[in-house]
């Protein structure tokens, strides 16, 4: 009888441990962090096809998304899919593509921190060459780092803040890429601090 009682207590403890662990997992998954797999080549060379990362879902509950953040969001054309792109334009700004280069409020962006020098940002169906778009409230203009092979805001327009799941912040597979996702910080409001270079469009 004592053996049966001991087994029963063990099973009860085991079930309680499983329930607590699952509850913690659900809370973390829903409110804090969510795993995602990178699919496709649109964010190369920063992120490769097949990489696994964690998305920070709590960050934007306390602050607004920043330029340079890599975000995961519901695809505007089909919200069943999640996309990963980099924020380029912020609410209230005007984004232009002139001679295959990105301008923010008529100032050319310096994206050398994450783009090879030879990369061009050609226009798309939504924002074509020599075109401009003024972002509304809670709208973000996002681009893939692999500009020639990325479906992004150039093709289907801005991303609403409500569609943003969170910020990509930690790569956990493959092991060679294990670590925090580096952030591009544009501190201050001056042209220099924003990492932008003033250029007169030709």
Q: Can you list the alpha helix ranges (DSSP code H) found in 98-186?
A: 153-156
Catalytic residue among 46, 57, 85, 153: 85
Helix (H, G, I), strand (E, B) or coil at 9: helix
142-163 CB burial, b ≥16 within 10 A, e <16: bbbbbbeebbbbbebbbbeeeb
Is 177 an active-site residue? no
Catalytic residue among 42, 46, 121, 153: 42
* Cis preceding-peptide flag for 52 (omega within 30 of 0): no
Order across the sheet with 196-198: list the strands: 131-134, 94-98, 101-104, 107-109, 196-198
Is 108 an active-site residue? no
Helix (H, G, I), strand (E, B) or coil at 125: coil
Count of CA atoms in the C-beta half-sphere (13 A) of 172: 10
Q: How many CB atoms lie within 10 A of CB 67?
A: 20
List, by residue number, the catalytic residues.
Answer: 42, 85
């Amino acid at each position: 009888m004592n053996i049966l009682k001991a087994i029963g207590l063990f099973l009860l403890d085991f079930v309680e441990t499983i329930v607590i662990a699952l509850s913690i997992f659900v809370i973390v998954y829903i409110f804090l962090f969510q795993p995602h797999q990178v699919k496709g080549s649109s964010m190369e060379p920063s992120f490769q096809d097949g990489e696994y990362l964690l998305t920070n879902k709590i960050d934007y509950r306390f602050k607004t998304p920043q330029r340079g953040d890599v975000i995961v969001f519901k695809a505007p054309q089909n919200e069943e899919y999640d996309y990963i792109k980099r924020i380029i334009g912020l609410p209230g700004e005007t984004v232009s593509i002139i001679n295959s280069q990105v301008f923010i409020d008529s100032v050319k962006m310096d994206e050398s921190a994450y783009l090879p020098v030879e990369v061009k940002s050609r226009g798309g169906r939504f924002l074509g060459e020599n075109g401009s778009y003024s972002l509304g409230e809670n709208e973000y203009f996002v681009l893939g780092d692999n500009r020639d092979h990325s479906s992004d805001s150039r093709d289907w327009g801005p991303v609403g803040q409500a569609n943003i799941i969170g910020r990509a912040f930690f790569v956990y597979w493959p092991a060679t890429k294990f670590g925090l996702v580096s952030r591009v910080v544009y501190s201050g409001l001056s042209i220099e601090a924003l990492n932008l270079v003033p250029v007169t469009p030709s």
